[in-house]
A and B are shown apart, each in its own frame.
Chain A
Amino acid sequence: MKLITTLIVTFILNQMILARTFGEELGDWKIEKGSTGYYLIKKDLEPKMIKVRTIGGTPKIINVIHKKELPEQYVLVIYQGGSAGTSDIVTVYRAIIYDLKENKFVKDLPYKYESQNKKEIPQPEWNFSKTSIKVKDPNNGKEEVVSLF
């Protein structure tokens, strides 16, 4: 009886693991420091790596999310890209879009800014369509367009 229970539990756990796509959970990712910067690493057997941006301090992963406006295969790995400033410390959050189906990085984009002094900072404007993402950062006027297919 005990053996059967163990087998059933093992089977269920296996099904749970197989049911999800690797990369869609926080634990599937890590950030490590190299000599030339910090890297976001997807913990595959053959790791996928991309350099992340920091404006000061050590970056860290905050969350892995899926946007309902995007096809299922894309996740956003949100990371905190450090903080900087003299009279107001601003913390930068960025999002790396990852294509789980193709298993590749798509783009690293500004996601959110936070002022420690609670000042209102213009936020990056994200616009989704079926085939692309447009992100405009009012702080520097830069607009980036990412084709999804």
Chain B
Amino acid sequence: MKKLIYTTFTVLSVAFSFYAHSKERVYSQYSDNTFVDLSRIYIPVNKSIKAINTSTGVEEYLKMPTDYKVSVKGEVNGMYEIEVIKEGRLEPDIYLTSPRNIEDGINWYSVKGIIEGMGAVRAGAILKTICNVGSPSVDTGDATPSHQAQSNYSTVRNTQTEIYIEPTEGEYHEGCEALAEQPIPDSNKGMLATCMESIKKAITQGNRDQYGNLDRNKVFASMYERLKPEEQIFAAYIFTGHGEAAMWTSVEEPGEAMLVMKSVQNRRITAEKQREDKNLPIGAENFNELDIVLTEWQYSMYNNGENWDQYMDPGISVDFAPMIEAYAQMTDPATEWDPEEAMNNVTHYHREYVNPVDNWAARGVRVYPSVNGQKLRSDSSSGGYNKIYYNVDGSSNWGYVESRETHRPD
């Protein structure tokens, strides 16, 4: 028996030196026709390994006898990119180490056990085809450039005072209890308008400078600190839909804001999926839609100097009814997008009159959507103002989230 185990171990070890490299994955050959995607398994380390922490560029040692497990995520410049679990917790940074270190340093006996425990491997489910990104279509549509939404709010401050009463722990802000019922019934939409007013008061109180202007960093931080998770998500959708598409959205035709919200939702799903792929420890806080929209520079309406404050200032009256309608329909499972699969991957759009540097948009695939049978006016191919994309970041989609390092309080 010992001899059999030793033989298997040796075969696997040798097999490792015949890595099949793809552009994005590193595979190990398990048998004649089965390759194992090494990015999906965490292998115990049984010998100290030297590795570079890619966030600092500093060389470190994964020293024994500390309990380390590693997963090979890819290859760059002749080095393996590895994720490291130290004593049961995933290290936040990616490390680089030489293939030789992996070959010598990991516990191959454990690899055998892990692989054989993965029925999915034998079924071929782990083996993925790496898709190439399609070519972008060329659009010559006539665009009407437009800046941030200017409509639907009054430029005259009303006399509303900023009195914010913090709700009892666990309770919703006034009107926001309607968020508990999904999909949103028509009868609750009025309450959600009240909810938005409550949210505006909550996130702005005490957050003005000496001139009475809202302090962007403080307001954004308050969105995390003072709102319940459900309210954070709702606020993210409504503010972003309004700031990005209010001018072209009405209660009767909410599709334009629905597109904006759909891109937010898709980014959140991708970010969350990527987080899950990293096998983060239980208890790690999920990304939410607020993390997505407050990630710097992504949705232009939140940029320093843009109009975000006009939508969040309780002293400025804003009609959010079209956005609430868009939110209700966007979150309703009965809503039909066409083309469905592409729309489930739309993460980017931009105005016709801007050109992303390095042309990242060229890597995406244009999509010409309709929702509930209605063609979106914003699509530039129909004389609208937006170019809408999916697969901007290739097959892995887009999950960039940075707000935790900036606006989300510690």
Contact = CB atoms under 8 A, between A and B. Distances in A.
Contact of B298 (A55, A80, A120): A55
Contacts, number: 149
A25 B303 CA distance: 34
Nearest to B83: A36
Contact residue range for chain B?
35 or more
B360 A35 contact: no
A84 B298 contact: yes
A86 B94 contact: no
Given A84-B298, A140-B406, A89 B355 contact: yes
B357 A83 contact: yes
A110 B134 CA distance: 33
Contact of A87 (B74, B148, B357): B148
B303 A138 contact: no
Contact of A51 (B54, B301, B402): B54
Given A36-B74, A55-B400, A140-B217, A89 B81 contact: no
Given A35-B25, A119-B305, A140-B407, A82 B357 contact: yes
B75 interface: yes
B303 A88 contact: yes
Contacts of A92: 297
Given A32-B76, A35-B73, A49-B79, A87 B351 contact: yes
Interface in B134-180: 146-148
Interface stretch (B55-63, B109-117, B310-318, B324-332): B55-63
A37 B94 contact: yes
Given A87-B300, A140-B217, A56 B77 contact: no
A88 B75 contact: no
A86 B300 contact: yes
A75 to B, nearest CB: 14
Given A49-B52, A85-B350, A35 B297 contact: no
A90 interface: yes
Contact of B54 (A39, A56, A89, A104): A39
A65 B27 CA distance: 40
Tell me the dominant secondary structure on chain A's binding face. Answer: loop
Given A33-B76, A49-B79, A57-B359, A104 B58 contact: yes
Interface string B354-368: 111111100000000
Given A50-B56, A56-B356, A56-B400, A139 B74 contact: no
Contact of A47 (B73, B74, B77, B81): B77
Contacts of A104: 57-58
B74 A50 contact: no
Contacts of B402: 55
B349 interface: yes
A6 to B, nearest CB: 35
B350 A58 contact: no
Contacts of B349: 86
B16 to A, nearest CB: 18
B299 interface: yes
B217 A116 contact: no
A126 interface: no
A41 interface: yes
Output the residue of B57, B58, B74, B392 with the most chain A CB within 10 A.
Answer: B57
Output the residue of A48, A83, A105 with the most chain B CB within 10 A.
Answer: A83
Contacts of A86: 244, 298-301, 349-351
B24 interface: yes
Nearest to B96: A49
B221 to A, nearest CB: 9
Interface in B359-379: 359-360
A122 interface: yes
26 contacts: A34-B75, A34-B76, A35-B76, A35-B81, A36-B81, A48-B52, A49-B76, A80-B357, A82-B358, A83-B360, A85-B297, A85-B298, A85-B303, A87-B301, A87-B350, A89-B354, A89-B357, A90-B300, A92-B297, A104-B58, A121-B304, A122-B305, A139-B303, A139-B304, A140-B217, A141-B406
Given A35-B26, A49-B96, A92-B297, 17 more contacts: A34-B74, A35-B25, A36-B74, A39-B77, A41-B77, A49-B57, A49-B77, A50-B52, A80-B358, A82-B358, A85-B354, A86-B299, A87-B244, A87-B300, A104-B58, A105-B58, A140-B217
**A-B pairs with lowest CB-CB distance, top 3:** A35-B74, A105-B57, A34-B76
